[in-house]
């Protein structure tokens, strides 16, 4: 009799145990579903990112299809910056491609725009990839491209940029010392050139008009010197279509923020910039600062005021982003820690996590 009761009890416990196992299995499947849908919490559903292994962190942050496009403005420190990106190729497993336009033209024919955008869109074996070249902003959406690259750039005080470019054409720099420059042998100073007042000379006020069209784009009005629409379009593009625009005068902070935002592409660049010997690898060999008379002439011009408006807009925008993205620790700028989390996660089955 006792054996019969024991057998009956066992038969009752077996289905119950199976139900318990099935319940745990269903719960586990629900948790996996939550994780696969990208819901992250600081609670039990998802492990906190700070507690994951280095390999898991890399996988979490990794995007092997990332496309970054740097349409670099001449004489803004772009050579220095891109050399650091080239140095990151092996370390970060990225590709870097230079877009070399004929005669260094900053604007492109419509067919060339289409072909370039098509190449960037379809060239999937070279990713993650960093493209760079001296060309005005390209609107990928205009051509129906499914890929929109992450735009970055660096901007410089407009008159400082022009003065640097003026002497660069005559004396070159310490990057390629033996290369013959376009105005080599002309020892006219920038002040002397301005005093002559020749329109469209290397020192004319009109030559300031460069950073606005670079951010404005390939439209005719962008290159119409003094066009108010071009300035407003440049500001719209800078704020809405660029991930980050730094300042030549403060490139280190630009690198810190960039590494914080895109660690997959720029990991380790901050340390290289701070500790390396190439943080300023391209300096004009001979340069004379403009005198007070020259400064007054430029500062009274409409074009200078417009270019400065874009520069100050970019500066304020960058400082705002930097404040949100970094922290100052022992006088050293560092990426800010993660400041968000998911909680109160509910689904069709009710509460998943607090």
CA-nearest of 37, 109, 48 to 346 is 37
| CB distance 245 to 318 below 8 Å | yes
Q: Give residue 236's region: left, alpha or beta (phi > 0; psi -120 to 50).
A: alpha
Catalytic pick among 58, 134, 280, 317: 134
Distance between CA 338 and CA 52 in Å, rounded? 14
Catalytic status, residue 132 = yes
Tokens of 92: 């970060």
Distance between CA 119 and CA 227 in Å, rounded? 32
Catalytic status, residue 58 = no
Main-chain phi, psi angles of 266, to 5 degrees = -120, 20
Torsion of the alpha carbons at 58, 61, 64 and 68, rounded to the nearest 10 = -130
| CB crowding 20-29: b at 16 or more within 10 Å, else e | eeeeeeeeee
Give the helix/strand (H/E) hosting 251: helix 251-261
Q: Is 26 helix (H, G, I), strand (E, B) or coil?
A: helix
Catalytic pick among 58, 106, 132, 280: 132
DSSP states of 89-125: HHHHT-EEEE---GGG-SS--HHHHHHHHHHHHH-TT
Distance between CA 273 and CA 261 in Å, rounded? 17
Q: Is 8 helix (H, G, I), strand (E, B) or coil?
A: helix
Tell me the catalytic residues. 132, 134
């Amino acid at each position: 009799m006792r054996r019969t009761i024991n057998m009956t009890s066992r038969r009752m416990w077996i289905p119950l145990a199976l139900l318990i196992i099935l319940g745990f299995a269903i719960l586990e499947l629900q948790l996996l579903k939550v994780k696969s849908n990208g819901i992250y919490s600081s609670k039990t559903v998802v492990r906190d990112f700070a507690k994951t292994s280095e390999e898991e962190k890399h996988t979490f942050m990794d995007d092997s299809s990332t496309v970054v496009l740097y349409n670099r403005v001449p004489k803004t420190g772009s050579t220095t910056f891109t050399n650091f990106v080239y140095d990151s190729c092996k370390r970060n497993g990225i590709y870097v491609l230079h877009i070399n336009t004929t005669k260094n033209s900053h604007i492109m024919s419509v067919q060339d725009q289409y072909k370039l955008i098509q190449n960037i869109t379809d060239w999937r074996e070279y990713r993650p990839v960093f493209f760079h070249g001296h060309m005005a902003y390209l609107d990928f959406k205009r051509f129906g491209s499914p890929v929109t690259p992450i735009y970055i750039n660096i901007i410089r005080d407009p008159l400082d940029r022009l003065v640097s470019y003026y002497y660069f054409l005559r004396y070159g720099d310490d990057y390629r010392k033996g290369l013959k420059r376009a105005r080599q042998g002309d020892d006219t100073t920038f002040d002397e050139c301005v005093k002559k007042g020749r329109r469209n000379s290397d020192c004319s006020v009109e030559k300031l008009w460069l950073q606005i069209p670079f951010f404005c784009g390939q439209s005719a009005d962008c290159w119409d010197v003094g066009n108010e629409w071009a300035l407003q379009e440049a500001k719209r593009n800078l704020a809405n279509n660029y991930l980050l625009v730094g300042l030549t005068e403060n490139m280190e902070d630009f690198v810190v923020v960039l590494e914080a935002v895109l660690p997959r592409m720029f990991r380790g660049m901050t340390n290289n910039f701070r500790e390396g010997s190439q943080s300023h690898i391209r300096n004009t060999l001979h340069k004379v600062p403009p005198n007070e008379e020259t400064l007054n002439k430029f500062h009274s011009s409409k074009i200078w005021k417009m270019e400065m408006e874009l520069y100050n807009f970019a500066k304020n925008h960058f400082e705002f982003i930097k404040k949100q993205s970094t922290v100052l620790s022992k006088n050293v700028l560092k990426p800010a820690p993660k400041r968000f989390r998911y909680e109160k996660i509910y689904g069709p089955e009710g509460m998943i996590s607090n």
